[in-house]
A and B are shown apart, each in its own frame.
Chain A
């Protein structure tokens, strides 16, 4: 069994204890999406606002759940803020590739993931992968909601 330290990295626990971009945004103009992970009872609510230039101008995270689900959502909010929609989708793809649920191997350039790379230990605990990807699926749903 892999070491728990691989799962609960210091930077992950920091995002859990001090979540970034916590709160809500008025809808509209923002869009809201809510995701559930029935295994842990995790709940992630993503508020996302996209400006006229197709850039994510603001994002907020609400909800509750296990450390991995909440830290992953906080880290995601930091990484996508200010990015264009296609950049955000690229990040999602790279993150899910790292989690080995998309593509085959490691991301071509893990450095691009920044702090998100700290979550790669989660893939050694397959039961928890859904905790880490819940926020990305929820963001994706928010961005495609009419």
Chain B
């Protein structure tokens, strides 16, 4: 894979790579602004999965015949592609999971139950997705560990004034690398370094970060990183846990079954080597191959270009939308695009988010409405729900303009 330093991309050209973006809804061209929930898939990903089923469908790591070998190679190539994509030291550090949620649960179940006990402190943040809250609640109920929360500052990012005190005595620090509601990107390296100074292990939820920013696990400074394929142009049903090899090596298995063992007797079992120790059962082979194609697609465009495109489009939205709707529109999260991604959660007058998204749907504009699986954050923001528009590499300024036009329609019903 050659290093790609292009800083420009042409979203209107890229749109043609995504078959779904050519469809209409309600007789109007679709305006897809929900990539924070799931991204659309380029033709190359659909082709890769289709080719697997049509030409090399066989179970992996088992058969000694030709197509079984091709299937195994194709799946393991994904592991290496992901390794290079996030700057991991070895493919042994790349665990293929169902999604980011399962990856976080793997750490909670395996590392958490092995190393944490009664009274141990886990530091998390108020802007986490439920996927990075509930596994720790479950661990607390099971092991008697305690949660301590980092709060927000006035800019809609994490408040770090009391970071040192909050980290005192912490064994584990778990945080989102980019909020799925605020778009906020906290100073990850600073938090990771401070956590390590206290002897804590750091888990990053990269579900929103990895699809949108250049990712280098060594630079981020964390110990674990979880992300999902379907938010980065790949299929659903495949995700990744990256972990430091020494930590993964020492951890007990998560799910038990085939593939994760070296030997099984009537007395017990011997776990397999990394990474397969954590991959019980037949893996999602087609999905893994689809993820490999997605990584190729993103790497070819170049993550620095994707980040710059997201940033410019976010700046355009933050400039034009308030310009058109004034105080009626309240966009949450940092105003500075250098510390946020293209996730725009907003309230519009006192109109409920679901009514907003219903009217937008009539204009073929797809946005998310609700609590975005982040109820503690909603409580902190003092709202029950927000509408959320989120952009990706195939969106351009015309999509933001279409959102604004559709918001005018919301006023027609609820103004």
Which residues of A does B touch, CB under 8 Å?
A: 1, 4, 7-8, 13, 38-43, 64-68, 125, 128, 131
Contacts and interface: CB of A to CB of B under 8 A. Distances in A.
Contacts of B370: 38-41
Contact of B369 (A13, A40, A64, A67): A40
Contacts of B26: 1
What 4 pairs across the A-B complex have the smallest Cβ distances?
A40-B354, A66-B354, A66-B352, A41-B385
B385 A4 contact: no
Given A1-B25, A1-B26, A39 B413 contact: no
Residues of B in contact with A, size category: 10 to 19
Contacts of A68: 355
Nearest to B27: A1
Interface string B350-376: 001111001101100000011100000
Nearest to B371: A41
A131 B413 contact: no
Contact of B358 (A4, A41, A65): A4
Given A40-B369, A41-B370, A125-B358, A4 B413 contact: yes
Interface of B: 25-26, 352-355, 358-359, 361-362, 369-371, 378, 384-385, 413-414
A129 to B, nearest CB: 13
A75 to B, nearest CB: 17
A13 B385 CA distance: 20
30 contacts: A1-B26, A1-B362, A4-B358, A4-B362, A4-B413, A7-B358, A8-B355, A8-B413, A13-B413, A13-B414, A38-B370, A39-B354, A39-B370, A40-B354, A40-B385, A41-B353, A41-B370, A41-B371, A41-B378, A41-B384, A41-B385, A64-B384, A65-B384, A66-B353, A66-B354, A66-B355, A67-B352, A68-B355, A128-B354, A128-B358
A73 to B, nearest CB: 14
Contacts of B361: 1
- Which of B355, B359, B414 counts the most A-chain CB atoms under 10 A from its CB? B355
B384 A67 contact: no
Contacts of B358: 4, 7, 125, 128
A40 B385 CA distance: 7
Given A4-B359, A13-B414, 18 more contacts: A1-B26, A1-B362, A7-B358, A8-B355, A8-B413, A38-B370, A39-B354, A40-B369, A40-B370, A41-B353, A41-B370, A41-B371, A42-B354, A43-B384, A64-B384, A66-B354, A67-B352, A67-B414
Contacts of A13: 413-414
A40 B378 CA distance: 13
B362 to A, nearest CB: 5
B187 to A, nearest CB: 31
A67 B355 contact: yes
A41 B378 CA distance: 11
Nearest to B378: A41
A65 B362 contact: no
Contacts of B362: 1, 4
Nearest to B370: A41
Contacts of B352: 40, 65-67
